[in-house]
Structure 1
């Protein structure tokens, strides 16, 4: 027997895609039917006919069932998937569909692509340039300081908008004196 192994999920996906392409329902199938615990069975073959040049004339598509129907079955991974042939009665069905020919507007599509390309490029350029401009042309606000005291030649300063530190002044003076005793010369601070 001829056959090949197929993963169950791949087979299910392929049949699902085939049903979508054929617009076949799972509840009342015309082309592929599900055979419980066996797999899938093709119940008709599709033959494509050439569409007519007129945009409003119906196109006849003929669906003819074969005398020999292939059945796809999936089994466990140890077994092979086998294409079986079952016999059935030949039946002819005719379906009617309208085919409309619409001219494609390729110029609009090309214009939209160009427009989208330039819009994306402009947005990217603005996103890169804006931070550079902000950093270049803005100056940080200069802070204004208030001198609280001068301890051992070191100015003790605080920002003007800072809360009152007069209650902390004795501790600050003690810290500055202790630091100055341990750090002399070039290491001595000029302001704190």
Structure 2
């Protein structure tokens, strides 16, 4: 993707994010006046508010930076949204079981291993990464109730927050000739892999 095309794509993403955020705000405003436990900020920040969201997000961001020309495309954003929706559907069967934390931890471990190994990421793989990231986040997404409007708010808020975080990650300066930066990113991926593996082992132990 050329620089001007990349800039245009980012502008379009910002427009989509603003529309989605407007939806979250409007639906929050027009809901009945009850005591809400999950506010707008919590919905947008859910992907970075705990280890089960932060680990897959961090390792996915490190992997997406392994692209030849790191960028987010509209198909990648759509794959993320589809993954979030599927994960949110799976949450119905996973809630309260050890499999609920196992899903994001397994995905984070796989992402961490690939990033630590320094694997290159082609365009198709980037779509799969975004979809799996959405799946891992959706499986642990919190909503105030199981009503459609609350589920839509949580999904839209998480999509905006995740997409913003990924945009920041892929647009940061690349390592290039700075070998120390590439090594640093692989070290972060290795530590993330280790943490996810330990947490996954603890989860597996609780299933025995």
Q: Normalising by the residue count of structure 2, what TM-score does the alignment of the two structures yield?
A: 0.20
Structure with the higher helix share, 1 or 2: 2
TM-score of the two chains, using structure 1 as the length reference: 0.21
Q: Which is strand-richer, 1 or 2?
A: 1
Rg: which structure is higher?
1
RCO comparison, higher one (Cα < 8 Å, 6+): 2
